[in-house]
Chains A and B, each alone.
Chain A
Amino acid sequence: MNRKMAKTIALAAFAVAVVLGTWQARALDAKTPYPNMAPLDQYLIADRSVEIVLARSAAPPSISRDAKVVVLGPHGYETAVEGKNGFVCIVERAWMNPFDSPEFWNPKNRSPICLNPPAARTVLPLTLMRTKLILAGKSKDEVKQSIRAAIEKKELPELEPGAMSYMMSKDAYLTDRGGHNMAHLMFYTPLMDGAAWGANLVDSSNNVSVPFPGSPLLLAPLFKGNPEPIDVFLMGTGMWSDGTAAPVM
């Protein structure tokens, strides 16, 4: 870790707080801007090579260059590049947000993520299942019910210890709010109180509560038993995957 990296990391916690503070400050409109799914082509990236590059941008090249890459097609995710280090990079879409998120159908969302091998084996299947159901035209409720049933029937793998991911793409579009983006890592655990990690809390409308001032951790509103039985902790990195400092937004 060089000094430049240290400086950028030093901005991380502050960046997280500012980004989320901005989100919080902008009160949500009573009317959600995305009440329904947009036409499918708005979620697709026409040029497959562009999506591959975007997916890889989630992690430093030292990690993503040997990762498997999957891209979104009209019927679901397809493998575009085979990997050799166990990581899988993918551009998630807005429907990986909480079901009650006002941005659940935001067609602008592009969320590049590189999952480490345990996460690729146990978290990626959740992304693939949600996506498959949505592209099959299922409603939110139907998607939730199908996932819940799959969990009860143990058709989805149990979360492995050590599952984590990188979301350090400079070109991500995570939300309409604030600076749209934040460089961070994510850690997956079975359901637990955010207090177990001393994490501050973000709800599905991106309101932040701060029971632990000074903590660099956030418990994201993702999954949280609704219905996937996983908690996701976020930690800002303060730098993008290309090594440049992530701006304080």
Chain B
Amino acid sequence: MNRMRFAVLVSLIFVLILVAAGAPRTWAEDNKTPYPSMAPLDQYLMERSAEIALARSAAPESISRDAEVRVLGQHGYETVAKGKNGFVCVVQRSWIAPFDDPGFWNPKGRAPICLNAPAARSYLPLILKRTELVLAGRSKAQMFGDLKAAVDRKELPAMEFGAMCYMMSKQAYLSDSDPRWHPHLMFFAPLTDPAAWGADLAGSPILAFNGKDNPEPITVFLIPVGRWSDGTAAPADAQ
């Protein structure tokens, strides 16, 4: 994601705030987006062994070979491989994106991620909760409200100290415009001003997804790395 895309994202958020000003927050389906609503479920599902391999590809083999793996089934994520190093690898689907992301319902989205133990305890539940709501047929607006209520009732865990993850898969499909982007690590924090990490500033190697417009009160810091999980160099044109 380059800075221009970040600027576009910020502008989009601003426009959405203006449109929604004074009214209850709703997420009316936009017929102009390429993915205005959820596609049939089977478009989001994968062949199981392919999904296991894709999930593990998020991190170097030295980490992912001993990780727990979960795959998406008709009724949610299911554990298909027990782990022994505390990491959990899953393939996230598009609905883990920010609510205002035009690719929120993109059935091609495949975002492999290997979460370390603190993230598996505190971030994975957010993935599972969103997925549970999607598979229960909840609309975006309902999901937003359900998640907000769950946060308010403290049903979702707070981010743990040291929660981080690997997203270094060469086979990821993160967006239509830039499917693989860069291999990167992510660090999870409670809702934080990105400036506190020097993120998104000129010359900084750190980017941030500020969660202030999402129901989950977290900020995600991204730092690209130079190699895919298989050790090959990430080309500069990957962005």
Question: CB within 8 Å of B: which residues of A?
Answer: 1-3, 5-7, 9-14, 59-63, 85-87, 114, 116-118, 161-162, 164, 166, 185, 187, 189-190, 192, 195-198, 211-217, 235, 237-239, 241-243
Contact = CB atoms under 8 A, between A and B. Distances in A.
Contacts of A117: 196
Interface string B188-211: 011010011110011111110000
A166 B231 CA distance: 25
Interface of B: 1-3, 59-63, 85-87, 116-118, 159, 161-162, 164, 166, 182, 185, 187, 189-190, 192, 195-198, 201-207, 223-227, 229-231, 233-234, 236-239
Contact of A198 (B116, B207, B231): B116
Given A63-B201, A161-B190, A238 B207 contact: no
A84 to B, nearest CB: 11
6 contacts: A2-B3, A185-B206, A185-B223, A198-B166, A216-B226, A216-B227
B227 A60 contact: no
Nearest to A64: B198
A7 B236 contact: yes
Contacts of B85: 195
B6 to A, nearest CB: 9
Contacts of A6: 182, 224, 236, 238-239
B87 A198 contact: yes
A9 B202 contact: no
Contacts of B201: 60, 62-63
Contact of A215 (B2, B60, B196, B206): B60
B162 A192 contact: yes
Contacts of A214: 60-63, 227, 229-231
Given A1-B239, A164-B197, A196 B229 contact: no
A162 B223 contact: no
Contacts of B1: 1
B171 to A, nearest CB: 16
B9 to A, nearest CB: 14
Nearest to A193: B86
B161 A237 contact: no
Contact of B187 (A59, A62, A187, A237): A187
A235 B198 contact: no
B155 to A, nearest CB: 21
Contacts of A197: 116, 162, 164
Contact of B161 (A2, A5, A161): A161
Nearest to A87: B198
Nearest to B229: A214
B214 to A, nearest CB: 18
Contacts of A13: 225-227
Given A61-B203, A198-B166, 10 more contacts: A3-B239, A9-B205, A9-B225, A166-B198, A196-B118, A198-B62, A213-B62, A216-B226, A237-B205, A239-B205
Contacts of A198: 59-60, 62-63, 87, 116, 166
Nearest to A86: B196
A173 B162 CA distance: 29
A165 B230 CA distance: 28
A162 B195 contact: no
A1 B224 contact: yes
Given A161-B189, A239-B205, A2 B2 contact: yes
A86 to B, nearest CB: 7
A14 B226 contact: yes
Contacts of B196: 86, 116-118, 162
A5 B184 CA distance: 14
B60 A60 contact: no
A140 to B, nearest CB: 29
Nearest to B60: A214
A94 to B, nearest CB: 26
A196 B117 contact: yes
A9 B62 contact: no
A243 B225 CA distance: 16
Contact of B226 (A11, A242, A243): A11
Contacts of A2: 2-3
